[in-house]
Amino acid sequence: MDPNKEEFLKEFGADYGYPNGPKTIDEIRATEFKRLNGRIFFFSITRNSILSKFHFLFLFFGLVYLDHAGATLYSELQMEAVFKDLATNVYGNPHSQSDSSYATCDIVREARQQVLDYFNASPKEYKCIFTSGATAALKLVGEAFPWSDQSCFMYTMENHNSVLGIREYALSQGSAAFAIDIEESLDHSRGNLMSVKVSQHQIQRRNEARFFEKEPTGGAYNLFAFPSECNFSGLRFSLDLVKIIKEDSDRILEGSPFCSGRWMVLIDAAKGCATQTLDLSKHPADFVVISFYKLFGYPTGLGALIARNDAAKLLKKTYFSGGTVAASIADTDFIKRRQEIEELFEDGTTSFLSIASIRHGFKMLNSLTMPSISRHTTSLTTYVRKMLLALKHENGASVCTLYRSDNVKVVCHGWGPIISFNLRRPDNSWFGYREVEKLASLSQIQLRTGCFCNPGACAKYLGLSHSDLLSNIEAGHVCWDDYDVVNGKPAGAVRVSFGYMSTYEDAKMAYLLWMWLLKFIDFVRTSFVSLPNQIGRYHLRERPSSFLNEGPRKLLAGGVFLKSITIYPIKSCAGFSAASWPLSSTGLQYDREWLLKSLTGDILTQKKVPEMCLISTSIDLHQGILFVESPRCKERLQINFKSNTCNGSTGEDFHIHGQRYEGRSYNNEVNIWFSQAVGQPCCLLRCSMSNYYLNNSRCVGMRRDVQSRLNFVNEAQFLLISKESVSDLNDRISSNMKNSALGVAVQVNPMRFRPNLVISGGEPYAEDGWRTLKIGDNCFTSQGGCNRCQMINLVNEGGQMQKSNEPLATLASYRRVKGKILFGILLRYETADEVEQETNSWLQVGQEIHPNSF
């Protein structure tokens, strides 16, 4: 056994792995989560066509899943039981009167009881209302709660956006709303009950004058909401808050106009109840919301509101639907609602097949028991937190900043299996969390970054003020974007979270990158820890000029020459090479002048439709014809592009990357051909006018200093790749493979990067330092390095798209610049003037290149 694992088991062996359960964690993973263990692919690459020798490439992909707070994984045995159930039983609409409908009613009734049993809730006191998820359950409470102008919605800062959304219902009804922070301590004089100190944030109200017309009477209903576990930090709030708020609000809210009134308590248990018991017999909350995919992975789109009977009767429902009424008359204002709470609030037909499947998930959880699951996940979380805190740079600076309220006087139920953190460079500046996520993805590690839909906790733990948040928004930062560090501060964090099937190997063990799973701790160590004399580790580059320090950048005696020219007429389709080609104000003439658009308006690319790489193109300049071929189409398509009619097309405006274009569409014959080629309905568009000009300030390594008109390209008119740089990359890949004991060399062709221009001669990466260059009599300006993505890891093998970690993983090890992985440079063609016109200039293979470096 690995010595590190032996040490781990010495400390956590009593809690880790379900030692007293029906299966150990290793048995669970081997029999119920085989899909995480990796898949083996074999395919061949022709090495020498004359000798008919083949080189076999062996790839091993495994997955490390660390986003259980987002969605945990379903068990394969669980799904087998679900499929068997559905395949052997007939479940009808529960609103019918047939035998199959009665069978469904029985299953739904049993499912409600299972949910109540899970929370130790008596059916005499609680009801289970099925919803489409925890968010729908929260929405139901918000819109039906008896708000008044004297009511209040109080919530902890650590709350999901779906809870914060209740605020809109409260404010729209004239109620007040405010966030609080809670500090807690044990009060021995009161029988070791919690003594709670509340720090109240500003009161929000949309109709303040209306409120002050009346004195609070104490009869209004107020709602307090908190999560059982914070999905940002993992903090488990004390469930004693339920009784404290309901019975002692006068004391903890002393001086507040809302200290009186009737307080009701809502618990968001969507995250917390997956690894910690919530006993409603001890903590009688009025409302609890859950989503079942958070508990056991499947089904999605199903949740529940567990409501106290007396609280549910206070909810004021307006809408009625099939299933919620006993009788109604169509042409007069008459309705008789059903009396049962579940029937009253479950609009329409419930998702009865999903409801039937949850018993198989509960069976799995109950076999392990919730205390065992809690101990298991806690052992992994404690271990990883300890390992992350121990990571140091060479200068002694800490690598990880963990977000946890250890410095706050809080009595709670401990910490859930969540670790949120950010990583620092040796100079104490921050790595962007998106950079971490991209590199983790390269290593088959699935985690979560951002604020996790919890803006209050995010701002609280990151120390972001209101002005910081507004400044971030003004800078363009919104949820799910790439603005991860704004004004020197992180705008979010990295989160790893564990589930009942997580293993020690997920958290620690480092195997060889392709042969075994690269695990989390070693990913952080190899990717972000600065150590002396590292070879083959990830080195962080602060700016592209540091590339120039890797060795002399003298040109070889033979100079630098243009080796190949490639034109890609249709965006994301295959291109063709030419010995010479004319230039235009948009770059290479006809390059990326066409694109394919789906009927829903989405621009088709290889990221979405990998089959586009199989569409080949060529152009006959003399005839003015674009030829297009596809293995899915019998006939070769010919498009006369010199005709202004575009085969009877019409004009169309659309946007790409926020920029406006005007295009010309084609007739049905052309569109049907392309629809068959890509396997989905689409249409061909040709760029007739572009308002897309790059115009950015001058800066080292990212020179976007003058306007340049673009066709349907992502960033620039040209992408230039150096043959010598590709050779150096291949040497590094080969070295990494040999060091990993796999012993198989993977050779990357320059065309993998979809360049327009490939050059030969000079030192590797000399192009990084070029400011301008001249090819023949044509002048070009460098616009900086090209940021690479996982598209370069896709390769067409025998008509099938294959994906690996290379070359992006190796590039990430030495070509990272502030979260970007740069390879190749972007160019702008310097025309004689800025007007849109065709030029008489041509590029020709073999022309010498004269660069002007910094």
Helix, strand or coil for residue 336?
strand
The residue assigned the tokens 């070889």 is 556
Cα separation, 378 vs 16, in Å, equals 9
Helix, strand or coil for residue 450?
strand
Residues in CB range of 27: below 8 A, 6 or more apart: none
Rg (the chain; Cα; Å): 31
Beta strands 262-268 and 221-227: pairing type? parallel
DSSP conformational letter for 431: P
Q: Which residue, among 608, 790, 787, 603, has the nearest Cα to 711 in the 3D structure?
A: 603
Residue 215 burial (CB < 10 Å; 0-12/13-18/19+)? exposed
User: CA 205 → CA 168, 265, 360, 418, 467, distances in Å?
Assistant: 10, 21, 46, 34, 21
Helix, strand or coil for residue 812?
helix
Segment (H or E) for 506: helix 504-507
- 128 is known as an active-site residue: no
- CB burial of 382-420 (b: ≥16 within 10 Å; e: otherwise) equals bbbbebbeebebeeeeebbbbbbbeeeebebbebbbbbb
CA 130 to chain centre: 28
Token reading at 180: 């609080």
Cα separation, 255 vs 352, in Å, equals 49
Read off φ and ψ for residue 89, nearest 5 degrees: -125, 155
CA 449 to chain centre: 7
Q: What is the DSSP string of 32-43?
A: H-GGGS-EEEEE
Q: What angle do CA 734, 719, 726 make, to 5 degrees?
A: 15
Amino acid making up residue 793: N
Cα separation, 84 vs 819, in Å, equals 47
Residues in CB range of 786: below 8 A, 6 or more apart: 715, 716, 719, 753, 822, 823, 824, 825, 826
Cα separation, 705 vs 455, in Å, equals 36
Segment (H or E) for 542: none
Given 453, 458, 682, 786, the catalytic residue:
453
Read off φ and ψ for residue 180, nearest 5 degrees: -135, 155
- Count CB-CB contacts under 10 A for residue 219: 10
For the chain, give the longest Cα–Cα distance. 96
Q: Which residue, among 469, 505, 503, 501, has the nearest Cα to 487 in the 3D structure?
A: 469
Read off φ and ψ for residue 158, nearest 5 degrees: -85, 85
Token reading at 147: 């708000």
Could you tell me if 592 and 575 are in contact, meaning their C-beta atoms sit under 8 angstroms apart? no
Q: Which residue, among 177, 183, 239, 224, has the nearest Cα to 205 in the 3D structure?
A: 177
Segment (H or E) for 842: strand 838-844
DSSP conformational letter for 644: T
Peptide bond into 299 cis (omega under 30): yes
- CB burial of 26-41 (b: ≥16 within 10 Å; e: otherwise) equals eebbeebbeebebeee
Which residues are catalytic, by number?
Answer: 453
